Amino acid sequence: MTYFARKFGFFLATLWAVVTLNFLIPRLQPGDPAEIMVKRMAGKDAALDQAQVEAMRAMLGTPTDSLWHQYISYLGELIHGNFGLSYTYYPFPVTEVIAQAFWWTVVLVTIAQVLSFVGGVVLGAYAAWRRNSRFDSVVTLGSTFLGTLQPFWIGLLLLYVFGYSLGWFPTSGGYEEATPGWNWPFIQEAVSHAFLPALALLIVTPIGWILGMRNTMIMNLGEDYIRLAKAKGLPDRDVALKYAARNALLPSVTGFALALGGVLGGAILVETVFDYPGMGRLMGEAVEQKDYPLLQALMLLTTVGVLLANLVADLLYGVLDPRARRAEG
Amino acid sequence: MTLLDVRDLSVRYEPKASRPLDAVQGVTFSIEPGEFVGLIGESGSGKTTLGTALLRLLQRPGRISGGSIEFNGTDITSLPEDELRSLRWRDLSTVFQSSMNSLNPVVRVEAQFRDAIEQHSSLRGEAVTRRIRELFDMVIIDPKFMSAFPHELSGGMRQRVNLALALALDPKFILLDEPTTGLDVVVQHSILENVRRLQAEQGFAVLFISHDIGTVLDLSDRILVMYAGRIVEDQTAGALLRRPLHPYTKGLLGSYGDPREETVKITYVPGRPPDLSREMTGCSFAPRCPERIERCLETDPPLLPLLGGRAACHVAHLQHEEGGAGPHGEPKRGFEGPQFVKTADESRSALANEVVLSVENVSKVFERRRGFTVTRTEAVSDVSFELRRGEVTALVGQSGSGKSTLAKMITGVETPTEGRIVFHGPDGDKLVSGFKGRALRDYRSNVQMVFQDPYSSINPAKRLGYVLSRPLVNYQGLKGEELRERVKELLERVALTPAERFINRYGYELSGGQRQRVIIAKALAVEPEIIVADEPISSLDVSIRAEILELLNDLVKENDVGILYITHDLLSARMLSDEVIVLNNGKVVEKGPTLGVIRDPKDDYTRTLLDAIPNPF
Ligand SMILES: Nc1ncnc2c1ncn2[C@@H]1O[C@H](COP(=O)(O)OP(=O)(O)O)[C@@H](O)[C@H]1O
Ligand code: SF4
Ligand SMILES: [Mg+2]
């Protein structure tokens, strides 16, 4: 049990450190932090844009209070989800802007990641079990080939062929005119818009899982406990699943949790190519527009996502591998 | 009816990257129901390959390339896997070599019994649990460990669990492949006792593979001796001990000495076994054989019946035909090879030498913090002894007795909690625990460690010349021609000759014994006053052990170094050491001249250690 408690404690401590650093860094220099931040992003010589400074100040708080007061009120704002106003979408609060994009990304990328993972691991395991068979060669060579292609390029190709040339799928956006919500027309539109970006992800993402799983599994197949399982006269299926795959899966599961945490990073490219209204595209915009409050909130969100994913990975590993629990316990 | 009948069996490995090799060549033997057969030979002789082939578990690139295996009247040589599956574990089971990894690490032990039992019997649910509990009782393990994960068991327990697993379905035949190699002598002894008792009670047949002839003689009814992929001798254990037929068997027997003798003498077989991937004419043992005659180099001796057993040796057969009176003379009992002799006199004079290290009332307490509780373990408590120049002191005890902690304090890696260690070096007396930085470095050049595992302690990807020049450059600042000369000298010293051939070889190309030599050469590079050798031979073959012991012994005599020899094995302590210190739970329970302690042990624990030495005599 202490293993889990410790991992959770570690998560909380890191989270606190991240949040606090996020507070401290802009305040370390003398002067009005809001102005400094805006200047830094706009370049030294550009004229100060007062709207930007206002947006920044709404987020950073009043510089006249004592640092301690500022910190307390910063934490308070955070807890209430108040990240200030977006400059790009002025005067909408950052939280609202993000909330609109959030589900698009989460649904698209999560579904694509989960499918990629499950498919990749199954293919990789089967290829390893039947190694040197035709199936194995096709899978291995195929993945290696696809792996050499740029994901960006695959996205463009899909967009060109199925979007512009054939016209089977829409080429941008998340939906057309239906009202968002649980109604049939909207769901139809959402699915058809998500199809190509998801396909692009589904072509690129499983490659790592396939090759990784195949390698670990082949390594594990040489282990004594696999030989012993065969010597015990267990059916092939049991040896493959309960002995070989069960062990080979461990590193992949951790990797998967981490990959989910990095969803936002992976989303930028696809969402930009397909002009998909998710957080990835938003991040791209925020960088381009130098929308500091928005960028900062997205960064904080990403960091929390990665930390959470780490926590989940650790906890999962602890559940799946009894050795991990003790090794540090 | 014969239980296992193997005829002319050959196994070939066809690796992608190197030449094919015939690891098993035309092997013929049989095992009767309930018979305990030993299979002995040095590592690489093909024992594991043969065993794996018998169980039809060979993996690529290995395959059965000829001959047949008949089990209980069924030819299983090419039986389809589906039909074989019903024989597996119910009739043929096994405990693997290095079976530390043979349990699935992420599944509880109980489940790994259950799947096998349910696969092959009609037992289900509670009945299976009862059976598992019964099996745990058989191997003397508390059934509460049924719900443990493999890593929660100690090495000895894991091995017992593997044994219990092998017995789960009352098999007719069990293959034991070096089931206790790597464990403490005492643990080994008790597990093998357990095997012997269960075999007597339950009557399964055993093929027991080992490279340790003492244990094999101790346990087996009949012994097969394997050399370079072939069976070279097959006799009952008693006959083999009384009248070995093949010179290789004589060599193996010679590696055992009686530790109680005033002078222990062990012989060893020089050289290495042949490369199996090359064609050979004549007897494959000929290059190492002291009894070799002309014919041996021309024709390969077949394995033929002789004196109730079988032997593959021209000379043995000729001597028998001539009745011992012909040109080939009387059969010899011993092996006329290099000898390693240790006399009691030598020890007496060594113990009068000048002291180089004194350990005075040393204790070491480790504190482990877990949450808010602190557990204190006293790893070493109040230990005192002296090490002399030109002398070997053996530190003997089971794992966990504090040997390695003591070694770490002596090399300055750990600091004693109490007491002191004094080094009487060339610059006067120095307190070991006070060394820091440069002083510690200087001290380390006087005290060298040789570790247990020769495989992990040299970088396999570097040439030996580089490995050996490192300490010379670091500690003595040698370079150029001088450096090269010194490296060659070191290689010659540890008998890696000719040095030119070895200087450019890589670590991974060497055998275990050769690597251990390199490590010793590396230790010698800095001309140390003290060598701490922590189980330097326990991972090596018996015949190679003798060579390494001999090498260490020469170092002591010629260079006046003091060796602290750490081991769990009193027999090897007797061969090498002048004084012995027996440690149990961090305390010295007995101390004295080695021969005296072995002949007349005062402490119960020493007696346990002594009893654990296999005694075929
Ligand atoms: N998987 C393998 N591929 C190629 N050669 C092998 C393989 N396994 C063992 N060998 C070779 O077969 C010979 C016999 O090895 P092994 O059966 O392990 O002997 P032992 O058990 O007596 O130590 C050795 O020369 C070894 O190098
Ligand atoms: S056949 Fe010759 S070389 Fe071979 S073991 Fe016998 S005597 Fe030695
Ligand atoms: Mg072996």
pLDDT, tens digit, for every residue of B166-225? Answer: 999 999 999 999 888 777 788 888 889 999 999 999 999 999 999 888 889 989 999 999
> Is B113 inside any structural domain?
yes
How much is the pLDDT for A18?
84
User: Could you tell me the domains of chain A?
Assistant: 2-79 (no CATH), 100-328 (1.10.3720.10)
B371 CB-side CA count, 13 A? 7
B585 CB-side CA count, 13 A? 2
**Closest-CA distance of chain A to residue B102, Å:** 4
B292 lines ligand 2 (CB under 6 A): yes
With an 8 Å Cβ cutoff, are B57 and A225 in contact? Answer: no
Q: Is B1 on the interface with A (CB under 8 A)?
A: no
- Grade residue B146 by pLDDT with cuts at 50, 70 and 90: very high
A173 φ, ψ to 5°? 80, 180
Where a domain ends, among B199, B217, B243?
A: B243
With an 8 Å Cβ cutoff, are A234 and B152 in contact? Answer: no
- On whether the CB atoms of residues A148 and A141 are closer than 8 A, the answer is no
**3-class state of residue B231 by DSSP:** strand
How much is the pLDDT for A40?
62
Pocket lined around ligand 1, Cβ cut-off 6 Å: B 13, 15, 23, 41, 43-49, 61-62, 276
pLDDT tens digits, residue range B89-105? Answer: 999 999 987 667 889 99
Q: What is the percentage of chain B residues whose pLDDT exceeds 70?
A: 97
Tokens encoding A53: 């400074």
> Is B249 inside any structural domain?
no
> Is B115 inside any structural domain?
yes
- Grade residue A33 by pLDDT with cuts at 50, 70 and 90: low
How much is the pLDDT for B199?
93
Comparison of pLDDT for A285 and B250, the residue scoring more: B250
Q: Which of A31-35, B33-37, B476-480 has the lowest mean pLDDT?
A: A31-35
Same domain, B235 and B269: no
Rg (CA), chain B: 26
**What CA–CA distance (Å, rounded) separates B180 from B95?**
10
What is the average per-residue pLDDT within B305-315? 95
**What CA–CA distance (Å, rounded) separates B76 from B90?**
15
Same domain, B442 and B305: no
What is the average per-residue pLDDT within B44-50? 91
pLDDT tens digits, residue range B483-520? Answer: 888 888 888 877 777 788 788 888 777 777 778 788 88
Same domain, B201 and B277: no
**Is pLDDT above 70 for B454?**
no
With an 8 Å Cβ cutoff, are A235 and B85 in contact? Answer: yes
**What CA–CA distance (Å, rounded) separates B402 from B563?**
18
- Grade residue A267 by pLDDT with cuts at 50, 70 and 90: confident
Edge-to-edge order in the sheet of strand B530-534: B447-450, B530-534, B562-567, B392-396, B579-584, B587-593
Q: Which of B294, B312, B315 is nearest to B303 (CA)?
A: B312
**What CA–CA distance (Å, rounded) separates B118 from B138?**
20
- Atom 1 in ligand 2: residue holding the nearest Cα: B313
DSSP H or E stretch at residue B153? none
> Is B248 inside any structural domain?
no
With an 8 Å Cβ cutoff, are A232 and B99 in contact? Answer: no
How much is the pLDDT for A46?
60
C-beta atoms surrounding B156 within 10 Å: 18
- Atom 9 in ligand 1: residue holding the nearest Cα: B49
- On whether the CB atoms of residues B227 and B25 are closer than 8 A, the answer is no
DSSP H or E stretch at residue A42? helix A33-42
Q: What is the percentage of chain B residues whose pLDDT exceeds 90?
A: 44
Comparison of pLDDT for B313 and A324, the residue scoring more: B313
- On whether the CB atoms of residues A231 and B52 are closer than 8 A, the answer is no
pTM of the model: 0.82
- On whether the CB atoms of residues A95 and A59 are closer than 8 A, the answer is no
Tell me, in angstroms, the distance from the centre of ligand 1 to residue A117's CA.
38
Q: What is the percentage of chain A residues whose pLDDT exceeds 70?
A: 86
How much is the pLDDT for A41?
62
What is the average per-residue pLDDT within B57-76? 92
**Is pLDDT above 80 for A93?**
yes
Tokens encoding B313: 């040796």
What is the average per-residue pLDDT within B440-449? 83
With an 8 Å Cβ cutoff, are B115 and A232 in contact? Answer: yes
Q: Is B104 on the interface with A (CB under 8 A)?
A: yes
**What CA–CA distance (Å, rounded) separates A265 from A309?**
14
pLDDT tens digits, residue range B30-42? Answer: 999 999 999 999 8
**Residue-averaged pLDDT of chain B:** 87
DSSP H or E stretch at residue B409? helix B403-410
pLDDT tens digits, residue range B523-535? Answer: 888 888 899 988 8
Residue of A nearest to B101 (CA): A224
Region of residue B562 (phi > 0: left; psi between -120 and 50: alpha; otherwise: beta): beta
Contacts of A244 in chain B (CB under 8 A): none
**B positions 39-78 inside 8 Å of A (CB):** 55, 57, 59
How much is the pLDDT for B309?
94
State yes or no: ipTM above 0.95: no
- Grade residue A22 by pLDDT with cuts at 50, 70 and 90: confident
Same domain, B207 and B145: no
How much is the pLDDT for B40?
95
**What CA–CA distance (Å, rounded) separates B611 from B617?**
13
* Cα dihedral sign, A112-A114-A115-A117: positive
**What CA–CA distance (Å, rounded) separates B252 from B613?**
16
- Atom 5 in ligand 2: residue holding the nearest Cα: B313
Where a domain ends, among B320, B341, B362?
A: B341
Report the Cα–Cα distance between both ends of chain B, in Å, rounded: 33
Q: Which of A172, A123, A162 is nearest to A143 (CA)?
A: A123
Contacts of B151 in chain A (CB under 8 A): 322-323, 326
Rg (CA), chain A: 24
Torsion (CA) B184, B593, B549, B566 in degrees, nearest 10: 40
Q: Which residues, 6 or more positions from B410, have their beta carbon under 8 angstroms from its beta carbon?
A: B357, B359, B421, B432, B447, B530, B532, B564
> Is B617 inside any structural domain?
no
Same domain, B349 and B439: yes
What is the average per-residue pLDDT within B354-373? 83
**Closest-CA distance of chain B to residue A209, Å:** 21
- On whether the CB atoms of residues A94 and A86 are closer than 8 A, the answer is yes
Q: Which of A231-235, B380-384, B526-530 has the lowest mean pLDDT?
A: B526-530
Please state, in angstroms and as integers, the Cα–Cα distance from residue A128 to each residue in A139, A222, A241, B299, following that order: 10, 11, 12, 46
Looking at this protein, which amino acid is placed at residue B101? Answer: N
Q: Which residues, 6 or more positions from A190, have their beta carbon under 8 angstroms from its beta carbon?
A: A174, A175
**Ligand 1: which atom is nearest the Cα of residue B50?**
17
Same domain, B516 and B544: no
- Is residue B360 classed exposed, middle or buried when 0-12, 13-18 and 19+ CB atoms within 10 A define those classes? middle
Where a domain ends, among B163, B181, B203?
A: B163
* Cα dihedral sign, A57-A59-A60-A62: positive
Comparison of pLDDT for B274 and B65, the residue scoring more: B65
Q: What is the percentage of chain A residues whose pLDDT exceeds 90?
A: 14
Report the Cα–Cα distance between both ends of chain A, in Å, rounded: 9
CATH classification of the domain holding B550? 3.40.50.300
Same domain, B87 and B181: yes
| Of A230, A243, A247, Cβ closest to residue B57 | A230
Beta bridge partners of A197: none
C-beta atoms surrounding A90 within 10 Å: 13
- Grade residue B372 by pLDDT with cuts at 50, 70 and 90: low
Comparison of pLDDT for B315 and B462, the residue scoring more: B315
> Is B439 inside any structural domain?
yes
Same domain, B119 and B185: no
Region of residue A96 (phi > 0: left; psi between -120 and 50: alpha; otherwise: beta): alpha
> Is B146 inside any structural domain?
yes
Tell me, in angstroms, the distance from the centre of ligand 3 to residue A266's CA.
49
Tokens encoding A131: 């190694």
Comparison of pLDDT for B306 and A192, the residue scoring more: B306
Same domain, B465 and B425: no
**Closest-CA distance of chain A to residue B58, Å:** 9
Q: What is the largest CA-CA distance in chain A?
A: 79
**Domain housing B390:** 343-446+530-611
Comparison of pLDDT for B308 and A302, the residue scoring more: B308
Chains A, B: CB pairs < 8 Å: 80
Same domain, B90 and B216: yes
- Atom 6 in ligand 2: residue holding the nearest Cα: B313
- Grade residue A328 by pLDDT with cuts at 50, 70 and 90: very low
How much is the pLDDT for B119?
93
Same domain, B206 and B222: yes
How much is the pLDDT for A122?
93
**What CA–CA distance (Å, rounded) separates A245 from A221?**
9
A65 CB-side CA count, 13 A? 12
Identify residues of A whose CB sits under 8 angstroms from chain B CBs. 2, 222-225, 227-235, 238, 242-243, 246-247, 250, 320-323, 326
**What CA–CA distance (Å, rounded) separates B259 from B246?**
25
B293 φ, ψ to 5°? -125, 175
**Ligand 1: which atom is nearest the Cα of residue B178?**
21
DSSP secondary structure letter of residue B509: G
- On whether the CB atoms of residues B460 and B454 are closer than 8 A, the answer is no
**What CA–CA distance (Å, rounded) separates B10 from A308?**
57
**Is pLDDT above 70 for B559?**
yes
Provide the domain count of chain B. 5
Same domain, B351 and B481: no
How much is the pLDDT for A94?
84
> Is B616 inside any structural domain?
no
Q: Which of B12, B26, B30 is nearest to B70 (CA)?
A: B30
* Cα dihedral sign, B591-B593-B597-B598: positive
With an 8 Å Cβ cutoff, are A234 and B99 in contact? Answer: no
Q: Which of B194, B177, B189, B103 is nearest to B140 (CA)?
A: B194
**Is pLDDT above 70 for B350?**
yes
How much is the pLDDT for A55?
65
Tokens encoding B240: 């083999």
B79 φ, ψ to 5°? -60, 135
C-beta atoms surrounding B226 within 10 Å: 22
Helices (H), A61-133: 67-79, 94-129
| Of B57, B106, B151, Cβ closest to residue A326 | B151
- On whether the CB atoms of residues B520 and B450 are closer than 8 A, the answer is yes
With an 8 Å Cβ cutoff, are B104 and A246 in contact? Answer: yes
pLDDT tens digits, residue range A164-214? Answer: 888 888 888 877 777 777 788 888 888 888 888 888 888 888 888 999 999
With an 8 Å Cβ cutoff, are B101 and A223 in contact? Answer: yes
